Structure 1
Amino acid sequence: MTPAARLAAAASVLDSIAQGRQPAEVVLKAWGAANRYAGSKDRRAIADQVYKVLRARGRLVWAMDGREDGRALVIGSLSLIDGLSLEEIEALHTGDGYGPKPLSKQERARISLTGDEVPGWVVAGLPEFVVEDFKATYEDRWAEEAAGLMLPRAPIDLRVNIAKATVEEVEAELREAGLEPERTPWSATGLRLGAEPPPNVQALEAFKEGRIEIQDEGSQIVCALAGVEPGMTVIDYCAGGGGKTLGLGMRLEGEGRLVACDIVQKRLDNIRPRLIRAGVEAELQQLGPNGGGVEDLVDQADVVFVDAPCSGSGTWRRKPEDAWRLKVEDVDRLHTLQTQILARAAKLVKPGGRLIYVTCSMLRQENEASVDAFEEDHDGFMAVGVADALDGALVTDAGRAKLTELADHHRLRLSPATAGTDGFYAAVYERVA
């Protein structure tokens, strides 16, 4: 494919992403499958262009006078990100072959503009309402936090299943496979691979045989707050894809009871092969629309882990397209849902048991506001400091020090800028009455 044809393809993929709800990665794979003539270098170049645009989408829409179509965004990126001159951009837009048609008068005018004052939310690369949230949370550091969330490509973090192998054994195995893993700084069970070139982790024997799982270091850390020990009854109340279910089950060492709950049966079905591969046993329990179906577990659990439905804003460095799909009303709806779920899950905790609330969100309405509401209505739960809650077998000494520093007693915020992880929020409680 010519460079011009790649640009036209990137514009088409961007339009497909905007028209649906599928992740960019899925749309790109579908495009590649439907266009077999595109070689691996072509597909990689198109993906690079797409993600480049998605990370700077707010700025590009603003620069192109509000246009949100793929063609406009690609043209804007050539000027604002790649620094091409008008003449160079025009040379890529001749309409020849499979390349994009020539620039219009309006397009030519937009990329020729200079000296306009760019609003702060545009520079940050986040929706305007999210910038206001960041300013309230991070104050003078808000721009640094925004850049950390949207600009860099995230590495690939792995969690070693220490029930099957040691970190040292898996590290050596990955090096023999030609990879260059590094230890994660905070999680004692984590290994990190670079994003470039993207490793095919699922093709590794270590993955197929359950010695590793793909799991961001931040996700590993919030599991370490659960304090799971062999013999406990542990409930993963919002199991989703099951990644944290596996992390919690690993610490039971085959002794105790692990229950994974979700409102969607298909999600639970998808966990089954992961459990088998990891050698973890769990009961899979579908919840009713109002949290029903677990009445037999009321007052029974040593640990209830609530990985609540959320905006996923903490993962925008991996899925930048999701930033532009989120609306204010979505966050309000999620806050209401989170408070309802947390109240239901709390009923399952036995006296002396632990309750952990987690989101992969960076937004106050889903984090501080949700746990504030819980604490106001549940005086039978006592806050547990992060430093006291951490499982010493799952965090490094440096991790304990860093996480204690970042914590606001029982509440912990992680972000790409401060911890080098995806964005996570956690709060830890113990039932005292």
Structure 2
Amino acid sequence: MRLHRNLVFATVDALLEIFNEGQYADKVIEKTLKRDKRWGARDRSFIAETTYDIVRWKRLYAEIAEVKEPFSRENAFRLFAVWATLRGIALPDWKQIEETPTRRIKGRFDALSKIRKFRESIPDWLDELGVAELGEDIWEKEIGALNKQAPVIIRVNTLKTDIQTLQQKLKDEGFETINLKDYPYALQLVERANIFKTESFQNGLFEVQDASSQLVADFLDVKPGDRVVDTCAGAGGKSLHLAALMENKGQVIALDIYGNKLKELKRRAKRAGAHNIETRVIDNNKAIKKLHGKADKVLIDAPCSGLGVLSRNPDAKWKLEPEFLDRIRKTQQEIIRQYCKIVKKEGKMVYATCSVLPSENQLQVKDFLASEEGKDFKLIEDRKILSSETGYDGFYMALLEKSDSKTSEQV
């Protein structure tokens, strides 16, 4: 493989923004790819995947290169040199790249790979937390799985097509896909590619959504004609799935504190032909109180650590801090106790996160059921989805039902 100077320089520039300025990797890469209109698909793929790779393995590569943050431009090139050497890519004779013997890099890699926090490239505190919450064996497997590159999964929009028709249409457009057992609305791309420029996407025939995430809306057991509230809707991936499952009948009320995300949901809903979604910005408690006792089904896709989606957001492990986790757990409990009031008697609610930590999942449900607000709810079923077992995102979901009397149920 021959390295092109402008692609390598673009990658190094992106790394410096992500590491030194705390920018989000996806936003930086999106901006970087617009720098040169002459770049083709292969060039863009090199920049994106190399940047993500070095972000994913930052701690390991920094230890091998013996550099510390904040990284100088010279040190960022050293990280790149480690990445290239470990892949057997010959380094060019550029003044920016200081030559390090290949044997030394590989020797340090072999030695450091015996220690999990370096091998899996994670902060000490996160490694300790994973072991404390999941146990040594499960954490070992899970963090290994979460360090693999995420596959590209799409969800068929059943308001406009079916999975067989979409699969054939994508094949005609040059994209091979495979069906996924146990995921009725999912197709996986055989090769990673930019699928957003396809006619199928522009016409709203599918959304990009991980296979695990696709299980959440189904878990809520919605029916056509239901009144459903998606309380932390964001840009609406699950709201769109709910609308499709409801066949555009009934109502999906999408709530969020961020109006810009709901604007994006409106745009996506129009493309998808989802006509039964209404967006409402939560700017005060009145917006929530108006809905008390009025929803057949409520989805709480709660804000969380995001540890279950590290494979697609590898920079998250460098932004996470123990203090944030403490705050988010408190927020999760406040949200479930507040939004549960929207559920009608005999109605259902799903609490979900894209985290694999019991303290954000099973323990939150247990605390809720023991609270005053949770006394009329019972746990029907819960599922914990580990990336190490499925190959997809780590997720948790709990289905609860509201009744007139408390039914004891263990989480």
Range of TM-score over shorter length? 0.7 to 0.9
Q: Is the 8 A contact 2:153 2:189 kept in 1?
A: yes
Any stretches of 5+ residues in structure 2 without a counterpart?
405-411
Q: Is the 8 A contact 1:53 1:73 kept in 2?
A: no
Listed one character per residue, the Cα deviations across residues 304-327 of structure 1 (whole Å, up to 9, x for unaligned) are 000111222222111211211111
Matches within 5 A, 1:77-226: 78-79=81-82, 82-83=85-86, 92=92, 94-95=94-95, 100=96, 102=98, 111=105, 114=108, 116=111, 119-135=115-131, 136-150=133-147, 152-194=148-190, 196-198=191-193, 200-226=194-220
Distance, in Å, in 1 between the alignment partners of 2:23 and 2:47 is 17
When the two structures are superposed, what TM-score results if normalisation uses the length of structure 2? 0.87
Q: 1:282 is matched with which residue?
A: 277
Of residues 379, 391, 394 in structure 2, which corresponds to 1:423? 394
Q: Does 1:18 align with 2:38?
A: no
Paired residue type of 1:48 = E
Listed one character per residue, the Cα deviations across residues 403-428 of structure 1 (whole Å, up to 9, x for unaligned) are xxxxxxx2x12232111221211111
- Which secondary structure state, in structure 1, belongs to the residue aligned with residue 140 of structure 2? helix
Instruction: Count residues in correspondence.
Output: 395
For the structure 1 residues 273 and 37, does the alpha-carbon distance in structure 2 shift closer, same or farther, using more than 3 Å as the test? closer
Matches within 5 A, 1:289-300: 291-300=285-294
Distance, in Å, in 2 between the alignment partners of 1:321 and 1:204 is 28
- Which secondary structure state, in structure 2, belongs to the residue aligned with residue 299 of structure 1? coil
Of residues 232, 240, 258 in structure 1, which corresponds to 2:234? 240
User: Percent sequence identity over matched residues?
Assistant: 28
Paired residue type of 1:425 = Y
The alpha-carbon deviation at position 112 of structure 1 amounts to 8.5
For the structure 1 residues 161 and 83, does the alpha-carbon distance in structure 2 shift closer, same or farther, using more than 3 Å as the test? closer
For the structure 1 residues 374 and 110, does the alpha-carbon distance in structure 2 shift closer, same or farther, using more than 3 Å as the test? farther
Ranked by relative contact order (alpha carbons within 8 Å, sequence separation 6 or more), the top structure is: 1
Any stretches of 5+ residues in structure 1 without a counterpart?
386-409
Q: 1:390 is matched with which residue?
A: none
The alpha-carbon deviation at position 173 of structure 1 amounts to 1.3
Matches within 5 A, 1:36-51: 40-51=41-52
Distance, in Å, in 1 between the alignment partners of 2:74 and 2:304 is 31
Q: Is the 8 A contact 1:155 1:193 kept in 2?
A: yes
Distance, in Å, in 1 between the alignment partners of 2:56 and 2:376 is 44
The alpha-carbon deviation at position 286 of structure 1 amounts to 1.1
Distance, in Å, in 2 between the alignment partners of 1:360 and 1:112 is 35
Of residues 324, 330, 335 in structure 2, which corresponds to 1:341? 335
For the structure 1 residues 37 and 269, does the alpha-carbon distance in structure 2 shift closer, same or farther, using more than 3 Å as the test? closer
When the two structures are superposed, what TM-score results if normalisation uses the length of structure 1? 0.83
Paired residue type of 2:124 = E
Distance, in Å, in 2 between the alignment partners of 1:140 and 1:277 is 44
Distance, in Å, in 2 between the alignment partners of 1:139 and 1:75 is 33
Distance, in Å, in 2 between the alignment partners of 1:20 and 1:361 is 26
More deviation in 423-432 or 22-31? 22-31
Q: Is the 8 A contact 1:416 1:422 kept in 2?
A: yes
Distance, in Å, in 2 between the alignment partners of 1:73 and 1:365 is 36
Q: 2:61 is matched with which residue?
A: 60
The alpha-carbon deviation at position 109 of structure 1 amounts to 12
Q: Is the 8 A contact 1:57 1:73 kept in 2?
A: no
Q: Is the 8 A contact 2:288 2:339 kept in 1?
A: no
Q: 1:318 is matched with which residue?
A: 312
Q: 2:78 is matched with which residue?
A: 75
Paired residue type of 1:336 = K
The alpha-carbon deviation at position 246 of structure 1 amounts to 0.5
The alpha-carbon deviation at position 103 of structure 1 amounts to 5.5
Distance, in Å, in 2 between the alignment partners of 1:300 and 1:102 is 65
More deviation in 45-54 or 305-314? 45-54
More deviation in 139-148 or 28-37? 28-37
Q: Tell me the C-alpha RMSD between the 2 structures.
A: 2.7
Distance, in Å, in 2 between the alignment partners of 1:180 and 1:39 is 20
Q: 1:266 is matched with which residue?
A: 260
Q: 2:297 is matched with which residue?
A: 303
